[in-house]
Structure 1
Amino acid sequence: MLHIGKRLKELREKAGLKQPELAELCGWGSQSRISQYENDKREPSLSDLEAIAQALRVSVKEILFGEEESPTATGLIVSYEATDELDAEDYIFVERHDLRLSAGCGNLAWVVHEKDPLAFRRRFINARRLDPKSLKALYVRGDSMQPYLADGDTVMIDTGDTAPKDGEVYAVCFDDEWFIKRIFKQPGGTLILHSDNERYRDIEISAEQAEFIRIFGRVVWRGG
């Protein structure tokens, strides 16, 4: 018996997936197989290991023996020379953007960056019930969200998800500047823009100031 259950669970949670979501990415009808593997009640076959590794965007070797490279927050990124190397039926391409503000938070322009888009397996996107048309990638500026995000990391945001959920991370604009911050909701409609790096102060936005904040979208993926 390989006893890989604990490592498999850690990789799944690092990818932000629940057991049913991972099972769906693997093409399995229920989560029972994942549960059995994580509890070391069953040893996965090679084909199942390959399906899990592909879904988690890691290697089979990492599942079996632990981390072998420095992964991103959601797994290893596979490089490619050009998008035509990848099957458009299997992949979703998300453009990287620069966010340009003009006349405050009311006007913005998503400027496509010159670098190649990010490629995600279509089933990875579908399992999270994301609309590819609402996805945009941005570069992280500064270290205010370390260790969750580092300067130069890339985040993918869902521009269709702008109603703040407590504790989630969003791209927002406030006081004519855009940030990536964790949002906490307070009684009375107050919002706290929280920096994970304790060196930075929180920004408190009262209900009366709500007109001055704009939420661009929730962070649904991050990578370095």
Structure 2
Amino acid sequence: MSDFAKRLTNMFKRAGLSSARVSELSYDYGVDTSKKTVEAYRSGQRTPSPDFISFALAICGEKDANMLFSDNPNKIAKAEQAKDEIMYIDAFSMPAGCGSTGVFDNNFEVENRLAIHKSVLELYYPNPKFIKAFRCFGDSMEPEYYDGDFVIVEMVAGRHFQPIDGIYVFRVDDTVMVKKLAFLGKKVKTISMNLSYGEFIIDPEVDNFEILAKVCGKLSLKSGLLLSDQGIN
């Protein structure tokens, strides 16, 4: 086993992360890596990419690549360069209900951070400070969004925008949902992609209704990362 593999293994052990858990987190961070591949990195049979190294440092709470590459300054430089090329999107702990109920958190507590290559994100959003993520909870938006997928969104955040028909994360009272919304004059119709779920009408003048964000992409375990230019601008 190489010195690097030993350091990587020890770093995961200190963080209490098994190979299976590292693999699970890698999908959340967009650095899809199987358990078998993680074990090959830990044993020294394979050499991880700079993106995986940046991800590994992040989930272990380490900021300095020197701890892994103290004997190889070229690899340190590559790891640091990879960090600069990655942007992290906050993923909120409150889920967006898709047939199941997501409960509104006024503090917008962040549960996770998704790693996305900067060039990919900036292709659609040159100023991505309003780009966040919610985890889907339920099956009412299948086959477009599956339970456990992350919807990538552009937060409204109190900004003025002209609502147009599309997929939004919104709340009614304390219930957070992701649905397709059709704006019908003063009322709003909600539409599920899964046709086994019915539609319902929201009256913003009566219901405690608030649009939180417009969906502009997803990070899916089935299809990977997909982005569009369908933000609120």
TM range (shorter): 0.5 to 0.7
How many residues are aligned here?
139
Seen in structure 2, the aligned counterparts of structure 1 residues 163 and 181 have a Cα distance that, compared at 3 Å, is: farther
Instruction: Please give the residue correspondences for 1:1-16 in structure 2 after superposition, counting only pairs within 5 Å.
Output: none
1:215 deviates by 0.9
Counterpart check, 1:203 vs 2:186: no
Q: Give a deviation string over 1:165-187, Cα, whole Å, max 9, x none.
A: 21x2111001320001111111x
Looking at structure 2, the residues matched to 174 and 219 of structure 1 have their Cα atoms a distance apart, in angstroms, of: 17
Aligned to 1:142: 138
Counterpart check, 1:93 vs 2:88: yes
Looking at structure 2, the residues matched to 149 and 135 of structure 1 have their Cα atoms a distance apart, in angstroms, of: 18
Q: Give a deviation string over 1:202-222, Cα, whole Å, max 9, x none.
A: 12113533x621111111121
Aligned to 2:44: none
What is the identity percentage for the equivalent residue pairs of Structure 1 and Structure 2? Answer: 22
1:163 deviates by 4.4
Counterpart check, 1:129 vs 2:82: no
Aligned to 2:178: 180
Seen in structure 2, the aligned counterparts of structure 1 residues 148 and 89 have a Cα distance that, compared at 3 Å, is: same
Looking at structure 1, the residues matched to 200 and 149 of structure 2 have their Cα atoms a distance apart, in angstroms, of: 22
Seen in structure 2, the aligned counterparts of structure 1 residues 207 and 96 have a Cα distance that, compared at 3 Å, is: closer
Looking at structure 1, the residues matched to 114 and 178 of structure 2 have their Cα atoms a distance apart, in angstroms, of: 19
Instruction: Name segments (4+ residues, structure 1) moved above 6 Å.
Output: none
8 Å Cα contact 1:130/1:158 also seen in 2: no
Which amino acid is the alignment partner of residue 165 of structure 1? I
Give RMSD over aligned pairs: 2.5
1:130 deviates by 5.0
Give the TM-score of the pair, scaled to structure 2: 0.53
Looking at structure 2, the residues matched to 178 and 130 of structure 1 have their Cα atoms a distance apart, in angstroms, of: 28
- Aligned residue for 2:119, secondary structure, equals helix
Looking at structure 2, the residues matched to 200 and 218 of structure 1 have their Cα atoms a distance apart, in angstroms, of: 21
1:124 deviates by 1.8
- Aligned residue for 1:204, secondary structure, equals strand
Aligned to 2:7: none
- Aligned residue for 1:82, secondary structure, equals helix
8 Å Cα contact 1:99/1:109 also seen in 2: no
Looking at structure 2, the residues matched to 196 and 89 of structure 1 have their Cα atoms a distance apart, in angstroms, of: 37
Looking at structure 1, the residues matched to 214 and 92 of structure 2 have their Cα atoms a distance apart, in angstroms, of: 15
Looking at structure 1, the residues matched to 183 and 87 of structure 2 have their Cα atoms a distance apart, in angstroms, of: 33
Q: Give a deviation string over 1:59-94, Cα, whole Å, max 9, x none.
A: xxxxxxxxxxxxxxxxxx433323465724322111
Looking at structure 2, the residues matched to 131 and 182 of structure 1 have their Cα atoms a distance apart, in angstroms, of: 25
Looking at structure 1, the residues matched to 143 and 213 of structure 2 have their Cα atoms a distance apart, in angstroms, of: 21
Which amino acid is the alignment partner of residue 94 of structure 1? I
Looking at structure 1, the residues matched to 128 and 122 of structure 2 have their Cα atoms a distance apart, in angstroms, of: 9
1:148 deviates by 0.6
